[in-house]
Structure 1
């Protein structure tokens, strides 16, 4: 009988130690004009989020300009180094891990993937400016004990035209930052990123088109994922790196899964059910996969009481039925 008990205890110990690692159940913590307060963290904890992306910003005049302006007095508090540090400190105090994800905004909202220089001189100027920008926040990430650092977001032309620069930049980042690294590739960019093996996660901003229906069902949406999912799994096998959705989300509007990346001010009808179904399908397809690390919901405003709501057709799930779907899944994982 004693031997049986010992075997049973060994089995329990093995079962506990062999469980899949905890998922990154994240929110994209949107930069604000002001400091984050403890009250702003309560709803983040209520949905069982264990991670948050903190996003300081740099600004570029146009898609051919090499100068990145950042960490100035003219920016919102949350977009600066001081603001990012304050957010990280408060998040960590509440037991929420962080990913620092520096972003670039090109004037008039031009897509960052089109950033492209017209001369070698300008490429070199951009590289120097970007290195200054990204190293500032890599050093900050190390100083604040940030768990993950994202080296860039949706910079396809910059990456494809200057691959050697990026390999060297990653090596330099690792001299000052000792945590995990990723890059946030656009959904149609990630297969061509040349440096995944230099990083710890395959980062994808997961705005994959899944359905042309106005209100697609969960079943239809899961079928839509079959067009994309095998390629992700194949890349994981090839690189030995898990997939991390550095952004994922859907607007609460008609046709939300047709072009999920749309950030325009269209007047499509509010469709809370479509957002719920899209969220549920994504969770059903990915959160149970051992090669999938987790992800960050796009997006979460710090002042929860004023965010989202039943008349809002934007990305945030706050104060909408989709928030309950997130809570249910994050609690489970």
Structure 2
């Protein structure tokens, strides 16, 4: 792999703001003025709160698949290598590091297993787009204050990824621990 000189483009991505002349100009300026050879095309899926288990990546303010395809194609036309980077955020403004559930399943309460089911669909949806479009890399970027359940549930996600996707995977997992 050659030296990577990259920059994130599109964050946070609002429906209707991509696939425009202004967005095209923005990406071109990034390439020409900063001399980047890579871009992380970053955008969000949204869940209502830090305790919600459904991730919306198809409606509302979330960029459309057509916009994601557009951004990848524009980057490729400019000669950029692409890292596709879908990220989960909370609609209520809570920092995503605070997405959290009980360690053990509690009846009638939201569960890590339910969240990971939705997260897996979200990630695999965009991983397939990354593969279809020839992205050089796919980034799973997560932050959690409480990584115990994450390791238990996350292994299944990465097993599914490895079985069906042929794109280099960059995993950024940040565990934020309180200072003692």
Query: Paired residue for 1:161, among 149, 166, 171?
Result: 149
Q: Distance in 2 between matches of 1:62 and 1:168?
A: 24
Q: Which has the larger helix fraction?
A: 1
Matched, 1:126 2:115: yes
Q: Contact conserved, 2:113 with 2:153, CA < 8 A, in 1?
A: no
Task: Give every structure 1 segment of 4 or more consecutive aligned residues whose post-TM-superposition deviation is greater than 6 Å.
Answer: none
How far 1:57 sits from its partner (Å)?
1.6
Residue 167 of structure 2 corresponds to 179
Structure 2, unmatched stretches of 5+, are: none
The residue that corresponds to 1:44 in the other structure is 30
Structure 1 127/41 Cα, relative in aligned 2: closer, same or farther at 3 Å? closer
Name the counterpart of 1:300.
Answer: none
Cα distance in structure 1, aligned partners of 2:164 and 2:131: 7
5+ residue gaps, structure 1, are: 1-20, 193-333
Distance 1:155 1:183 in 2: 13
Contact 1:142 1:176 in 2 (8 A): no
Instruction: State how many pairs are aligned.
Output: 165
Give the one of 100, 103, 108 matched to 1:116: 100
| Cα root mean square deviation, aligned | 2.1
Inter-partner Cα distance in structure 1 for 2:97 and 2:172:
11
2:134 to 145, 150, 167: 145
Which has a greater percent of strand?
Answer: 2
**Pair 1:83 & 2:71 matched:** no
TM-score of the superposed pair, with normalisation by structure 2: 0.81
Which structure ranks higher in relative contact order (CA pairs < 8 Å, sequence separation ≥ 6)? 2
Change (3 A) 1:102 1:145: same
Residue by residue over 1:221-262, the C-alpha shift from the partner in whole angstroms, topping out at 9 and shown as x without a partner, is xxxxxxxxxxxxxxxxxxxxxxxxxxxxxxxxxxxxxxxxxx
| Equivalent in the alignment of 2:50 | 63
| Alpha-carbon distance, 1:22 to partner | 2.5
Give the SS at the match of 2:5. Answer: strand
- Which structure has the larger Rg over C-alpha atoms? 1
SS in 1 for 2:173: strand
